[in-house]
Structure 1
């Protein structure tokens, strides 16, 4: 299979490209910088001026591009940039795919479990409706744009990522206080964290590529979410550090502003659709998952 990836040089994109190549697929990564093909990856220059790229005929397109949510305080300008980066990239890709006489069979667009809003008590699956906060609204608009691929005759999957754990990504920032002997409960500690190991991320995307009957939203999460307190204690146990210094909610809200929602609130999102279609997670247990990464 020939597969194009936008956002292929990021944390998830790199892991996914390596995974797909190891399974015999030809991978084309869309990039705005000049890169030379290596490790089996062909880089395709994305012309920012006209938002076009000279893409050969491919079987699938995976869009992972978008400005990071934790790249700065959420001012009104920053929030607009976060939204616009997702919409404009998706629009640009679909505009070009619409012009092709031979279109890909499947379009997978990155999304997030932030779609559901936050809750301490609810359990969310792909059947639930969107929340009302900034993240939920952003994801809802992003998915609405991505679903236009269905009008072009492409099977469309909306990959709603949880917190992806791997060597890099969000985990490196979460673990730093523990490395410095300053780790502890964040906020109330009761907020849910729906995590997923990077290996299951790549395997679940492959699963979606290969199962023709999967479309629409798919929660890319492990089947056993944990509370933030349990998450912190598990990290402390694995790297032999104390879990003792709390990070009060008020202090984080003053420091991070609205962006504090990323650590102070969460959602319990289950991968119901993937499991119903027969997917088996490699990492179901948080301690085992973290041990493979941190050891």
Structure 2
């Protein structure tokens, strides 16, 4: 199977590429800056004079992970615009490429996020749950709407609504773990907010599962089946690292330091992987402590 990946050089993309290769598939990365020196084929896109559809050949699946990280920098108006526009530009180009292809891919797997759901301490959201109306929810809804254009080309379309992806060097975990490494870890905000998380390997496995299973379509909550409240999640990080959990981080301090972006850690959603479960996906790391021990085991 040949799989084209926009955003394949990032955090999740690199894990997905290894997984594809381990399973005998070919990965092709779409990037603004192709590097021809490596073993992985790269094709230029999103730049003048680039027509990747001429270089890709026949592909079986398209994966779109491209977009500016929501974790970097304060959410200034300019930053928020970049978070949205980077996703829409990449998705528009993916749709254009698909339209230009004589032989269409069987499936487009497009990244999305659980931020589409309203924050709540009590609700449990399946894929049919209500959507929110804050900044992140609006980004996700616009993103999914643009990706859904692939369906008009007869391409099965899947939206992977990722929770907090846990990995060693990138994503949210290094920021969460840092205070514990400094012996200053503790409850963030009220501690009652939910953390719907997933090990980065399971996130990549879920993408491959969606590619290979023709009955998987539409939004897919890509989270582990056992979310934790922030207080318990923090305690688990401390336990795995052998560090205390005692120094609270008040909400006002984070709001002062991070502004609107503080909502990423002060509020959350309890999200259920209903569709993955219904289709028989088996998580390698269903429990947070096992996931964290795997990621942090070499420390």
TM range (shorter): over 0.9
Take 2:89 and 2:293, find their aligned partners in 1: how far apart are those partners?
38
* Deviation per residue, 1:210-239 (Å, 9 max, x gap): 110110000110001000100110011111
* Deviation per residue, 1:247-282 (Å, 9 max, x gap): 110111111111111110000011000100111111
Q: 1:46 corresponds to which residue?
A: 45
Take 2:115 and 2:11, find their aligned partners in 1: how far apart are those partners?
19
Q: CA deviation at 1:76?
A: 1.5
Q: CA deviation at 1:246?
A: 1.0
Q: CA deviation at 1:117?
A: 2.1
Q: 2:124 corresponds to which residue?
A: 123
Q: CA deviation at 1:34?
A: 3.0
CA RMSD of aligned residues (A): 1.1
Contact 1:117-1:135 within 8 A present in 2 as well? no
One of 250, 254, 257 as aligned partner of 1:255:
257
Aligned residues: 294
Which of structure 1's runs of 4+ aligned residues deviate more than 6 A? none
Take 2:26 and 2:240, find their aligned partners in 1: how far apart are those partners?
38
- Alignment pair present for 1:102 and 2:140: no
* Deviation per residue, 1:121-149 (Å, 9 max, x gap): 10001011210110001100100000010
Q: CA deviation at 1:293?
A: 1.1
Given the superposition, is the C-alpha separation of residues 194 and 260 from structure 1 closer, same or farther in structure 2, using an over 3 Å criterion?
A: same
Q: CA deviation at 1:243?
A: 0.7
Q: 2:232 corresponds to which residue?
A: 230
Take 1:216 and 1:283, find their aligned partners in 2: how far apart are those partners?
24
Q: 2:14 corresponds to which residue?
A: 14
Q: 2:35 corresponds to which residue?
A: 35
Contact 1:51-1:92 within 8 A present in 2 as well? no
Please give the residue correspondences for 1:112-151 in structure 2 after superposition, counting only pairs within 5 Å. 112-151=113-152
One of 160, 174, 178 as aligned partner of 2:176:
174
- When normalised by structure 1's length, the TM-score is 0.97
SS at match of 2:56: coil
SS at match of 2:24: coil
Contact 1:52-1:92 within 8 A present in 2 as well? no
Take 1:270 and 1:224, find their aligned partners in 2: how far apart are those partners?
8
SS at match of 1:147: helix
SS at match of 1:205: helix
Deviates more, 1:165-174 or 1:145-154: 165-174
Q: 1:194 corresponds to which residue?
A: 196
Given the superposition, is the C-alpha separation of residues 50 and 123 from structure 1 closer, same or farther in structure 2, using an over 3 Å criterion?
A: farther
SS at match of 1:13: helix
Take 1:113 and 1:172, find their aligned partners in 2: how far apart are those partners?
20
Given the superposition, is the C-alpha separation of residues 265 and 47 from structure 1 closer, same or farther in structure 2, using an over 3 Å criterion?
A: closer
Take 1:269 and 1:51, find their aligned partners in 2: how far apart are those partners?
39
Take 2:151 and 2:255, find their aligned partners in 1: how far apart are those partners?
40
Q: 1:68 corresponds to which residue?
A: 69
- When normalised by structure 2's length, the TM-score is 0.96
Q: CA deviation at 1:51?
A: 5.8
Q: CA deviation at 1:36?
A: 2.1
